[in-house]
Structure 1
Amino acid sequence: MTSTDVLRFGLVGTGPWARRTHAPALAAHPHTGFTGVWGRRPEAAAELAAEHGITAYDDVDALFAACDAVAFAVPPDVQAPLAARAAAAGCHLLLDKPVATQPAAARAVVEAADAAGVASAVFCTMRYASAPSAWIAEQAAEKGWFTGRADWYGALYTPGDDAEVRASTPWRAERGALWDVGPHALSVLLPILGDVVAVTARRGAGDTAHLVLRHTSGASSTATLSLTTPRAAAGTTVELRGPAGALTMPLGGTAQESFAVAVDVLLESARTGVAAPCDARFGLRLTEILAAAERSLESEGTAHETEGSEHKTEGAAREPGA
């Protein structure tokens, strides 16, 4: 494809994120032809299709056959097998995070994408938001970071929360903040501090999980993840400490803006054949690390090595103490 080609894009999912973020961004993007949608609730797919003047598919494989690329807005363990089928059908993949909650399922997506030679990108929001992504790239170029912390305090289950999201995404309540916002935290820490070689996790109040991570660079980091924070205390903070001082990541941008950039990244990867930084293999690595953290939670804080993927994240090649 060339920089001016338009790819036929399909959407899998009809929930609030699909309606509020994925569908509007795909419809507005100059290099996507928003072709069709499939959902587990046909009536919701028909409603979304009517809103955007596209086709509602009853058969997900028919959607894949009609598209060049597919965006996913479904629970992770629904997403993974469907993404593998989409890749086998020759579709480029714009995946939601986490790719899956089981490493084997995430690995199957990677293998299917590799076998088909299709591009992939995982929608880790901060990696596509303008100010955070620029800050991450700048700090990844610095050397000698001593430690970092990534705190994601969400208030999804408190009075005044987004009741529609809560009701339509029960997997978040079932799997907790570790799997919902954990990928966001890791997607920021890994490109700066390097891959994670060991993780220890302990439970806090509600669904809160506290992680201690050891990185290949020699640095350590912590992550606090919660969806059950009191609303007045909710917020996101990422901080690094090292020779450059103590630096805090800027926030900003909308989900639709970030998703449009993720589409750009996928299109560029499809055009050039160069893997995107947050591709399916990176998504697999996030699943492997979070699975190790989950095992640590289940064993009351025992440290677990994060064996698995050989994916190299930005910064992972630094020598300890570099």
Structure 2
Amino acid sequence: MNAVKPRLRVGMVGTGYWAGHVHLPSLRAHPDVELVGIWGRNNLAAERLGEQFGVDAYPDLDGLIDTVDVVDLSISPAAQADIATRAAKAGKHLLIEKPIADTLKAGAALADAVRVQGVAAVTLLIHRLRPERAAWLDARRAEKPTSAHAHWHSTAMRPDSPYAGSLWRKDFSPLWDVGPHIIHQLESVLGPVVAVSAFAVGQRTRVALTMIHAGGATSAVAIDMASSRDQPLQTIDVLTGTGMHNSPPLSIDGVLSHTHALRLLRDEIRSGVTEHGFGVDVGLRTLAVLEATDRSMARDGAVVDVDIV
């Protein structure tokens, strides 16, 4: 008779819109998770979410970290890098948002902590976490792709968006917000990005990006984060040896993707084997591409090599 495996004790770090609408509903409903508590810089917000989800709001971050097996983070990249590194050094497993840090140096410190401590970590890249999208991307990779185009039109930075008050999104180009999703998908088909050329348009809510991949394939990305469209448009077109392939529609369901991420994290913790392809190494590679795009935009779209990590 199989022994019943204990549930993972998880602490939530973050009290923003995405934490309340994606992370916490998923954690609360997962049969293998015990949601222990919530911490945030705004203790009143933590208390409100704690009351909503039936758990304690912790006034002390270290107190929460000490109590749990897993730390789930939904905060700004700079704060996430610092807190996730502290949690990893304390031997805690991680479920982290993208981008994993605000600089490549901070991301490398996080990756080193995860590796040295031997903890499990999964990055929440919600599109490729969906099995149907992963299967479509894998099929395209097998068909000798030569190029791809991605279009991302979102309302995230419009004044009426729940993300409009996000300070870190205003400080960075849109590529730092949605770029990890796009880069991760395109690299899974065309291979690692080795060079980029990027332009920001208007109030930095629109970006045009060209990427050169190892082996010579190319990809082009158009992003508009303050689109006049009421419905998001997120498509990928891939040219392969069998013709042009358009990505099938994918509903954005962050809770479903988070639930898949929890399953991957649970399996890694139980097996000790990392096979899922959503670890901090993926997040670190994405950071290298993002920093290269910033250097390119600062040089009026000059082609910039991506640092090897």
Alignment TM class, shorter chain as reference: over 0.9
**Aligned residue in 2 for 1:176:** 173
Query: Helix, strand or coil: the match of 1:211?
Result: strand
Equivalences for 1:239-250 in 2 at 5 Å? Answer: 239-250=237-248
Give the corresponding residue for 1:228.
Answer: 226
The amino acid of 1:228's aligned partner reads A
Aligned pair count reads 304
User: What is the distance in 1 between the residues matched to 2:237 and 2:61?
Assistant: 42
User: Which ranges of structure 2 fall in alignment gaps of 5 or more residues?
Assistant: none
How far residue 16 of structure 1 moved from its aligned partner, in angstroms, is: 0.7
CA shift, 1:233, in A, is 7.8
**CA drift at 1:3:** 8.5
Select 1:190's aligned residue among 181, 187, 192.
187
Given that 2:140 and 2:240 are in contact with CA atoms closer than 8 Å, whether structure 1 keeps it comes out as: no
1:200 is aligned to 197
What is the CA deviation profile of residues 155-196 of structure 1, one whole-angstrom value per residue up to 9, with x for unaligned ones?
22336x32x3212x2211221311101111101101111001
Shift of 1:244: 2.0
CA drift at 1:103: 0.1
Q: Distance in 2 between matches of 1:240 and 1:5?
A: 43
TM-superposed deviation, 1:101: 2.2
Q: Let me know the Cα RMSD of the aligned residues.
A: 1.6
Q: 1:138 Cα shift? A: 2.3
Stretch moving more, 74-83 or 263-272: 263-272
How does 1:204-283 map onto structure 2 within 5 Å? Answer: 204-207=201-204, 208-231=206-229, 234-250=232-248, 251-275=250-274, 276-283=276-283
Q: Distance in 2 between matches of 1:15 and 1:145?
A: 39
Whether the 8 Å CA contact 1:131–1:252 is kept in 2: the answer is no
- 2-structure distance, mates of 1:3, 1:72: 27
* 8 Å contact from structure 1 (residues 22, 259) kept in 2: yes
Cα separation, 2, equivalents of 1:127 and 1:3 = 31
Query: Counterpart of 1:8 in structure 2: which amino acid?
Result: R
Letter in 1 for 2:298: E
Give the whole-Å Cα distance in 1 for the aligned partners of 2:187 and 2:252: 22
TM-score, scaled relative to structure 1:
0.90
Specify the SS of the correspondent of 1:307: coil
The 1-side partners of 2:209 and 2:12 are apart by 34
Runs of 4+ in 1 over 4 A off after TM superposition: none
Q: CA-to-partner distance for each residue in 1:231-251, whole Å, 9 max, x for gaps?
A: 258411111001121112221
Contact 1:69 1:93 in 2 (8 A): yes
CA shift for structure 1 position 217: 3.1
Amino acid aligned to 2:257: S
Equivalent residues of 2:10, 2:37 under 8 A apart: yes
Mapped contact 1:158–1:231 kept (Cα < 8 A): no
Superposition deviation, residue 227 in structure 1: 1.0
Q: Which runs of 5+ in 1 are unaligned?
A: 310-322
Q: 1:182-237: CA deviations, max 9, x gaps?
A: 11110110111100111111122432111111111321101122212222584111
- 1:150 is displaced (CA, Å) by 1.6
Q: CA deviation at 1:253?
A: 5.0
**SS where residue 59 of structure 2 aligns?**
coil
Superposed displacement of residue 137, structure 1: 2.5
Q: Deviations over 1:261-308 (max 9, x none)?
A: 011111112222222301111101101101001100011111111122
Residue pairs, 1:80-99, within 5 angstroms? 80-99=81-100
Q: Indicate the larger mover: 277-286 or 197-206.
A: 197-206
Partner of 1:35: 36
Q: Distance in 1 between matches of 2:86 and 2:234?
A: 35
